[in-house]
Amino acid sequence: MPAQPKILLLDDDQDFLDLYREMLSQHLPSMPEVRAANTGARALSLLESEPFTLLVVDLNLSKMDGLQVLTIARRKYPQLRLVVLTGIRDEQFRTRAYALGVDQYWIKPETDQEMGLFMESIEALISREAQAGFRGVQSKSLVDIIQLECLSQSSCMLKITNGVTEGKIYIQNGEVIDAELPGMTAEPAFQRILSWKTGSFETLPPDPTRVRTIFTSYQGLLLNTAQAIDEAASLDQQPVAENGAPAGAIPVSANGVASLLADVSQMEGVEFVLALGAEKNQSKNFWGLENPKPVAEFTRQTLENFRWLGERLQVGELQHVLGTGPQRKVAVGPCGKSELCIGFPSALSPEQVRDSFKNILTKWAS
C-alpha cells in the first residue's frame, strides 16, 4: 500500500472530474494523490498499472456502466475501497451497488454541508486503510484488534463477516462481555469467530444495553481459544483413510470434515449432505448418498451457471439456490472454499429449508 493514499475518480463529466480532483487533493488532511478517468476502460487500465487506495465511481457512464466497473474492480482488487458518487437516487441501484461490495453510496452533494460530509467520509475511508488495512484479515489480526481494543479500555462492537455468516463481539470498557453468532452466544461463539481464518470486520459503536455473558478476562479468553484451535489443528493432522464410504456411512477425509459431516447429518430433517472442494478434481465428502457423482455434477453446474448469471445481471453474490421436487427439497450454496448440497424431506416448508441451510452454512464456515 503506498504511503500517500491514491484516489481514482471515474466520471464522464470532465468539469466534475476537474472540480473533485482539486477538492480531494487539496482539502483532505491526508493530501491524497488523485487521478481521473472518463471511461470505465481507462479506469480499469489505470488500476491495472498502479495501486490505488480508493476508487470513486459514477454509475451512469456510456459504454461500460459503473456497475460493470465495480464488478470487475471488486473481483480483481479485493483490497480496493469502492465509493459510488452518482446523481441516481434509485433505491435499486443503491442495493445492487452494496451487493457488489461497495463501501459507500453517495448522491452527488448539492450543498456545502453535504460536501463537507462527503469529504469527511472519504478521509475516514482512506486514513483507516492507510493505518490498518483491515480487509480480508487473518484470525491473527483479529486477535490483535481485540487486544488493542481491550488494552485501550475502549467500548465497541466488532462485526465480523465470514462469507454469509456474521458474528459480533461486544467489548465494554476493555473487557469482552459477549459474542454472538446465529444460534450461538457467549464464549462458544467467541471461540468459533476466532477460529475463522478469513473474513472482514468493522468497528461499530458499543451497545450499552448488552447483557454480559462472558466473565473471563480477555487474556484468558484468547488463551482458551488459542488452545482450542491448536487442539483442533492437531486432530486434523492425524493420518486418515481414503474417503468414499457407502450410503449411510460417513467417509473419513484428510481435512477433518468427517466430524462436521456427522454433525450436519444429525440435524433435523437432513437426508443427505454433499461437500465439494473448490477445484473440480478435489475430493467429495458425502453422507446419505448412494451415488454422489451426479449430485456433485448438479451442484457444480448449478452454482457455476447462477454465479455467471449473477455477474451478468450485476446483482451481487449468489447466496444459495433452493429446489423443490416431488421426492425432496435441496439446498445448494457456496460456503467459503466449499460448495454444499443438502437434501431435505419434501414436507419441510421453504422457510424451514432456508433456515436449516443457513445454520449448516454457519457451522461449516466455522
Partner 1 sequence: MGFLSRLFKPDDPGLVHLPAGSFTLDREGRVMTSTLPRSFPAEHLKAIGEQVLASFRSARKAQIPLSEIIIHYAALKLLARELGGGAIIFLMPQSLNQQANAALKKAP
CA proximity to 344, closest of 325, 362, 318, 363? 325
Q: Which is nearer to partner 1, 128 or 300 (CB)?
A: 300
CA proximity to 155, closest of 177, 133, 134? 177
Q: Which is nearer to partner 1, 66 or 251 (CB)?
A: 66
Q: Which stretch binds partner 1 (CB under 8 A): 63-71, 77-85, 116-124, 129-137?
A: 63-71
Does 297 participate in binding partner 1 (rule CB under 8 A)? yes
* Shortest Å distance, C-beta 167 to partner 1: 15
Binding mask 67-96 for partner 1 (x = CB under 8 A): x--------------------x-xxxxxxx
* Shortest Å distance, C-beta 111 to partner 1: 24
Given 17, 59, 73, 146, the residue binding partner 1 (CB under 8 A): 59
CA proximity to 65, closest of 73, 53, 75? 73
Buried b (16+ CB within 10 A) or exposed e, 253-273: beeebbebbeebbeeeebbbb
Q: Which is nearer to partner 1, 119 or 322 (CB)?
A: 322
Q: What length does the chain have?
A: 366
**DSSP state for residue 336 in the 8-state scheme:** T
Q: What angle do CA 260, 263, 264 make, to 5 degrees?
A: 90
* Shortest Å distance, C-beta 62 to partner 1: 6
Q: Which is nearer to partner 1, 96 or 192 (CB)?
A: 96
Does 242 participate in binding partner 1 (rule CB under 8 A)? no
Does 62 participate in binding partner 1 (rule CB under 8 A)? yes
Given 53, 139, 302, 356, the residue binding partner 1 (CB under 8 A): 302
C-alpha 350/C-alpha 353 separation (Å) is 5
CA proximity to 10, closest of 46, 49, 35, 38? 38
Touching partner 1, residues 277-296 (CB under 8 A): 294-295
Q: Which is nearer to partner 1, 174 or 269 (CB)?
A: 269
Q: Any idea which residue has 448488552 for its cell? A: 210
Do residues 274 and 296 make contact, with C-beta atoms less than 8 angstroms apart?
yes
**DSSP state for residue 167 in the 8-state scheme:** E
C-alpha 168/C-alpha 224 separation (Å) is 18
Q: Which is nearer to partner 1, 135 or 328 (CB)?
A: 328
Q: Residue 15 phi/psi, 5° resolution?
A: -60, -40
Touching partner 1, residues 304-333 (CB under 8 A): 305-306, 308-310, 312-328, 330
* Shortest Å distance, C-beta 346 to partner 1: 10
Applying CB under 8 A, the residues found at the interface with partner 1 are 59-63, 65-67, 88, 90-96, 98-99, 294-295, 297-298, 301-302, 305-306, 308-310, 312-328, 330, 343, 350
